[in-house]
Structure formats: structure tokens, C-alpha cells
A = this chain, B = another copy of it.
């Protein structure tokens, strides 16, 4: 990739818009396309407000300069044709992603790289027909990507090795934390770990062991604290006198027994309905957007805290 290549964003909802900020704040020129004109109109006002919030939190030196690097394009070809890296963040179904990737494929430089924001569907299911399929891979962020740095890189069986290596370098350079999978698996790492915990949380709630609120508090004021700056392996490595092997010897049997007694079933419909009612009593539907803004403000402060404490990028 040439120095400070042009970056294209295809699909400019919340995820795509966050990606635009990630690349622009690192000094890249970013060209944005979304097929929906209403979405295209929302991008720059949203980015202006978000960049200002980052600057206020000390996470961005000069938000106005950053904004000058963003432009919205009327066609996909215009956004993509000169780009060295293209981030695709369209709606997550195999059909929508297939169509978007074929359109990108037709307009892209053959040496460009296309990272898909897919949160769980592997790239092999929607890039096989692409002429440049060796240049496509998964680059899955957490929402919103400009506040949560991790990005999962997952190759399809036909992804070029250098496309993986180059994307890893780019992501590190722009301040994200890339993690690399060796091969595809549904849900990748992040959502498989999330799913495992959620499956157990639903089961405990379904069986009446504790309230939704208390299960949430167990994580928010307990289990989640160390995990916000250390991973699960380092956590257990520090939690037994002799480290991780000592921990496994002491507690591995208990954890296996718990898993062996759990027969995984689908999340129970009636329990989901009840959980929905409880959540809507705590937080009415009309307040969801306000609470999401609260979450993002908290993530902004957490990112600034981690940065200033040397606990994050």
C-alpha cells in the first residue's frame, strides 16, 4: 500500500461512519459511499459531532483538520476506484454482502484490500465470485470502532497472505488493535466468547437463579473489570500462585463439570419475551437511543482513561 493511501468506506451506517473517523484521525483521506441518500446526508454531521467529542476527551488533537479528510461520494465507483484499502460495512446478510462485494470488486484497483465488517459470517460465503477474491478478508470491529480498538482479521481460504499482513500493519498504524485468526470459524473469536457467556447467562436467568439486573451487575461490577484491560487467560494466570497451569489444575475440573451438565438449547422464547418486558420497564423503547449515547460517552471516557493509564492504545 502506498504511504497514506486513500481509504474507501462502503456502507456508512454507525459502523461505517465510525471506521471513517478511525482512518481520518490517523491522517488518511477517506471517501465514503452508501447507497442510501439519507444515510449519505447523515455521515458528515455525525462525524463532526463525534470528532468534537473525541477532541473534548483528549483523544484527538484537531477535529477540524480531521473533518477535512472526509468526503462523501455519489457513487460506489467514485469512492473505491483510487482506494488502497476499502472497508465494507453493509447490512449483514450473505445476499447483501455478496452484492456489495461484487460491486466493489468491479470498481476496485486489483492491488487494493477489502476488509468486511461482518461480525460472524466468514468471507468465503460472500466473496467466492469476486475476480479479486484474494484481496478480500474480514476486518470485524466492535461498535463503535472509533471507541473500541479491537479488530478481528479473518482470512477466507483464498485470501492472500500479504493482504492479511498489510491490513494488520494498517490497523496497528491507525491505532486499532488487530487480532488475527488463522482460518475461518462462524462468529470468529469475539462473538463466540460473547455467545458462550450469553448462553450461560440466559440459562441462569431462565432457571430463575437470579434476576436479569443481578446477572448484569455481576459482570459490570465484578467479572468485567479485569477483562477491560487484561484478557481471560492473563486473568487466570494471575489468579493462582503458580500461574495458568496451577489455575487449570485447581479449577479446570470444576469448569468442565459445569459445562458437561449444560445441554445447550436455543434461547427460550418465553424467557426472551419476559426479559424484553423487564428491560423495557427499566429502559423504555423511546430511551434506547439516549442510552446508546450514554454508552458511547462512557466508552469515550474509558478509552481516554485507558490511554492515559497506559492500559490501552
Least CB distance from A247 to B in Å reads: 9
A208: interface (CB < 8 Å) = yes
Query: Is the beta-carbon distance between A275 and B230 smaller than 8 angstroms?
Result: no
A20-36: which have CB < 8 Å to B? none
Report the interface size class on chain A. Answer: 35 or more
Complex Cα–Cα for A215 and B276 (A): 31
Q: Which of the candidate stretches A68-76, A78-86, A294-302 sits at the interface with the other chain? A: A294-302
CB neighbours of A258 from chain B (8 A): 186-187, 192, 195-196
Option from B181, B209, B243 in Cβ contact (under 8 Å) with A279 = B243
CB neighbours of A217 from chain B (8 A): 150, 177, 179, 231
A177-196: which have CB < 8 Å to B? 177, 179-183, 185-187, 189-196
Least CB distance from A300 to B in Å reads: 10
Least CB distance from A121 to B in Å reads: 9
A129: interface (CB < 8 Å) = no
Query: Is the beta-carbon distance between B264 and A256 smaller than 8 angstroms?
Result: yes
CB neighbours of A179 from chain B (8 A): 210, 214-215, 217-218
Query: Is the beta-carbon distance between B292 and A221 smaller than 8 angstroms?
Result: no
CB neighbours of A226 from chain B (8 A): 148, 224, 295, 299
Complex Cα–Cα for A230 and B226 (A): 14
Least CB distance from A271 to B in Å reads: 9
Complex Cα–Cα for A99 and B152 (A): 50
Query: Is the beta-carbon distance between B209 and A219 smaller than 8 angstroms?
Result: no
Query: Is the beta-carbon distance between A216 and B232 smaller than 8 angstroms?
Result: yes
Complex Cα–Cα for A283 and B225 (A): 21
Option from B225, B237, B291 in Cβ contact (under 8 Å) with A228 = B225
CB neighbours of A243 from chain B (8 A): 276, 279-280, 283, 285, 288
Query: Is the beta-carbon distance between B215 and A231 smaller than 8 angstroms?
Result: yes
Least CB distance from A119 to B in Å reads: 9
CB neighbours of A46 from chain B (8 A): none
Complex Cα–Cα for A258 and B226 (A): 26
Complex Cα–Cα for A138 and B110 (A): 62
Q: Which residues of A contact B (CB under 8 A)?
A: 120, 142-143, 148-150, 152, 177, 179-183, 185-187, 189-201, 204-205, 208-210, 212, 214-234, 236-239, 241-245, 248, 251-260, 262, 264-267, 272-273, 275-276, 279-280, 283, 285, 288, 291-292, 295, 298-299, 301-302, 305, 309, 311-313
Please list 6 pairs of residues, one from A and one from B, whose beta carbons are closer than 8 Å in the complex, sorted by A's number.
A186-B258, A189-B209, A216-B231, A224-B229, A244-B272, A248-B267
